[in-house]
Structure 1
Amino acid sequence: MTRPHPDHRTHAGTHARRIAAVLAVLTIALTGCATNAPAPPPSAAAPPIVSEPEAGAFPVSIDHAFGTFTLDEAPERVVTIGWATEDISAALGVIPIAVPSSWAGDEDGFVPWFREAVEGSGAPLPTTLTDLSGGEIDFEQILALRPDAIIAPFSGITDTQYERLQGIAPTLAYPEKPWLLDWQDHTELVGRALGRPAQAAKLVADTQAAIAAHGAEHPEFRDATFVYSTGVGEGTTDVGFYAPTTSLIGIIQDLGLTLSPEIVAEAERFPDEIYFGISLEDIDTVHADVYLGLVNDQAEVDASLAHALFRNWQPIANDRAVWLTDREVSQAVAAPSVLSVPWVLDEFVPELADALKR
């Protein structure tokens, strides 16, 4: 799974093509369905449930962007689509039977915190959904798995795709817009769907406490501003920034930092976007104490630093940049969950503190 990058301010050009390709990996393009589904693979035959649903949790009905998700009883064969939902499901004791393959994962497609949770539960690792050309997911594979629930609240599925998924099993889409859900609401929504709302609330509280503890060790965070960026886009003269509504912004704010006021103001021009661009010529109007750069590798760092206007911008010139080039760390911070956040805090927070000292 590849993380999204901001597109050009006009939502065209190279960045736009990259975003389309990235989000396609996280979205299902489905094109038909057999009438009689084949039996599920033997490896997925045993429901991987390691906790019981809470009393009175079912039946459950949850409204979302495309309709209402309804279950009369606890699901046992769950497929997740999108980002971080598999983390939440596993943390709740419902190991999915199939999950997306993570762009930051190991050779089997699993990020370490998810693998640790599943293996620690004693349940088998799930099937990874097959990526087809163009970022499609194998529709027949999902059908063959015979899920009794498809959970996709942090994804980019379309209404047409939702209808096809709903034809396989009750499907939970996002509340209003794709990719706009903070990690707390994400956890609580999945908790309701899986019949474990109190457990989900506790996971949120425990994770918030861990974040607060790390933030308390660094009172300097309270006086610091930040931006979250993807650097200078290839073939453009824009610097990409994530909007305040994205979950990756929330986790930094939870540590005590404040998003740059200029980014907050600029984001109001693009209320339906999770990312936008600011021209290099205007970059000095954005003020921040620390720069967080979400990139694929050092080559993207070097490409950004090749631009003099970017190099001379306040946080970069002051050497207050944290470039997230490690894919696991990058994924843990970019798609925070009740599993990834505790996993990454010990590594990420010291890097952030060191940058502010420079």
Structure 2
Amino acid sequence: MNRRSVLAALAASGVLTTLTACGGADEPAATASSTSPTSTGGAFPVTITHKFGSTTIESAPSRVVTVGYNEEDFVLALGVTPVGSRTPLGDFDSAKRPWAVDLLPAGGIPSVGQSELNFEQIAALRPDLVIGAYAYLQQTDYDKLSAIAPTVGDLVPAGQPAGSDAAATWQEELAAIGKALGKEAEAGSLTAEVEGKFTAAVAANPSFTGKTVSVVLYNQGYYALDAADPRGNFFLQLGFTANPLSGSVSEEQLVQLDTDVLVVLGLGKAEFAQNAVAARLGAVTENRTVYVPTFASDFAGALGFSSPLSLPFALEQAVPALAAATDGNPSTVPADL
């Protein structure tokens, strides 16, 4: 699914975050920010290839600004506190996200924008690296950021053509950010650790493997999320097979959501069943549907971040509900997430 085709819906729902200008006199000054040393022996210079070309980082960065949808988590996971980061949009309170709360500074991380980037605030923070690996940057944004500091733009997934809007996997994002920070070894170890949690969940739940899953997001219309979106890909990492339906879903296409398992983001059962077609789906009537009624829930936030910090949390939340949806017993009702 084209990432930009549903950007407005995802951002408005709060599943993603977007960039807004929110600088001002009350913003924390650059000197009020702090960061951990980023180098643990990584070799520099390093070059990161991305949608806008490539960026060479000459030495270990010490002041990192993140401008994307989930990069703050990736940097925190590698032991670095950004000196500035984008402010999430939507109902989810990311400042209290349980998987990262212990890593966030007491005063928070200074904001560099929300729906639009505040380039003056970014410059005032004196970054020596800007990370926008999953940021939907425009060329003009990238050019302005690059004039401030070396900038890693949106990553292009392996096998995709240059300029593709498909999202990189969390593994690709973690590898690139680890390289940029001089923490490749840590990134590799963390990747293996998180992948091991998925492997254990699949082994413990053989009923997942081979089952077809539909992941649909509702925000003034239905959007089917596939493997090119991190939220859709989460369920495929658990052994499920993707529904080929992707993108905006019309009323006539709702019947195509009737797969072995259905995941509905943004609606509870009562709301979803107000649609007569949705109410008749076998996945609904036989309790094979997992509902995420609000984007303010911790699970919705974890799925939205799709980071090495949030994914283990999302697994703990999702696996019991998915097990109930795949146990073959219509009387078992999966818990809402």
TM-score (norm 2): 0.82
Please point out which of 158, 182, 196 is paired with 1:195: 182
- 1:26 paired residue number: 18
State the secondary structure of the residue aligned to 1:342.
helix
- For residues 179-236 of structure 1, give each alpha carbon's deviation from its aligned partner in whole angstroms, at most 9, with x where no partner exists: 61111111111111111112111111100001111221111111421111014x53x5
The 8 Å contact of residues 113 and 343 in structure 1, kept in 2 or not, is answered as yes
Q: Which structure 2 residues correspond to residues 130-149 of structure 1 after superposition, within 5 A?
A: 130-131=113-114, 135-149=115-129
Q: Is the 8 A contact 1:150 1:169 kept in 2?
A: yes
CA RMSD of aligned residues (A): 3.1
- Give the equivalent residue in structure 2 for 1:34: none
2:232 corresponds in structure 1 to: 249
Structure 1 counterpart of 2:151, from 165, 171, 179: 171
Gap change, CA 1:59 and 1:346, over 3 Å in 2: same
1:165 touches 1:171 (CA, 8 Å); kept in 2?
A: yes
What amino acid does structure 2 have at the position aligned with 1:289?
Answer: D
* Partner residue, 1:62: 48
Is the partner of 2:95 in helix, strand or coil?
Answer: coil
Query: Contact between 2:38 and 2:183, CA under 8 Å: does it hold in 1?
Result: no
Is the contact made by 1:182 and 1:247 (CA closer than 8 Å) also made in structure 2?
yes
CA pair 346-175 structure 1, distance change in 2 beyond 3 A? closer
* TM-score normalised according to structure 1 size: 0.78
| Per-residue deviation, 1:178 | 4.2
Partner of 1:316: 284
Residue segments in structure 2 that go unaligned for 5+ positions in a row = 23-27, 157-163, 331-337
1:100 matched to 2:86? The reply is yes
The equivalent of 1:161 in structure 2 is: 141
Q: 1:179 to 1:140 in 2, by over 3 A?
A: farther
Q: Secondary structure at the match of 1:226?
A: strand
Amino acid at match of 1:203: L
CA distance in 2, matches of 1:118, 1:50: 16
Tell me whether 1:80 sits opposite 2:69 in the alignment: no
Q: Which amino acid aligns with 1:97?
A: V
2:172 aligned residue: 185
Distance (whole Å) between structure 1 residues aligned to residue 54 and residue 2 of structure 2: 31
Gap change, CA 1:146 and 1:110, over 3 Å in 2: farther
Give identity over the alignment, percent: 28
Structure 2 distance, partners of 1:25, 1:91, is 19
Task: After superposition, give the CA deviation of every residue in 1:278-328 in whole Å (9 maximum; x if it has no partner).
Answer: 322233244411111111x65xx5443211011112212222211123522
- Aligned residues of 1:5 and 1:230 also touching (Cα < 8 A): no
Distance change (3 Å), C-alpha of 1:178 and 1:319: same
Q: Deviations over 1:142-174 (max 9, x none)?
A: 111111110011111100110001111111001
The change in CA–CA distance for 1:72 and 1:248 in structure 2 (over 3 A counts) is same
Give the one of 255, 259, 281 matched to 2:242: 259
Compared CA separation, residues 90 and 141, structure 1 to 2 (3 A):
same
Q: Could you say what secondary structure the match of 1:127 adopts?
A: coil
User: What is the CA–CA distance in structure 2 between the aligned matches of 1:183 and 1:165, rounded to whole Å?
Assistant: 23
Q: Which amino acid aligns with 2:31?
A: P
Give the deviation of 1:110 after TM superposition: 4.8
Report the structure, 1 or 2, having the larger helix content.
Answer: 1
1:115 and 2:101 matched = yes
Q: Distance in 1 between matches of 2:62 and 2:3?
A: 37
Cα separation, 2, equivalents of 1:21 and 1:248: 16
Could you tell me which of 62, 73, 76 is aligned with 1:90? 76
d(CA) in 1 for partners of 2:8, 2:233: 26
1:175 aligned partner, one-letter code:
L
Give the whole-Å Cα distance in 2 for the aligned partners of 1:6 and 1:218. 30
Question: Which residue of 203, 207, 212 corresponds with 2:199?
Answer: 212
Code of the aligned partner of 2:142:
Y
> How far apart are the structure 1 equivalents of 2:52 and 2:3?
26
Shift of 1:340: 0.3
Determine the C-alpha separation between the residues in 1 that align with 2:68 and 2:137: 9
Quick one: which of 289, 292, 297 aligns to 2:263? Answer: 292
Q: Is 1:278 matched up with 2:246?
A: no
The answer to whether the 8 A contact 2:3-2:228 is kept is no
Q: Secondary structure at the match of 1:147?
A: coil
Q: Give 5+ residue unaligned stretches, structure 1.
A: 31-38, 268-275
Residue 305 (str. 1) matches residue 294 (str. 2): no
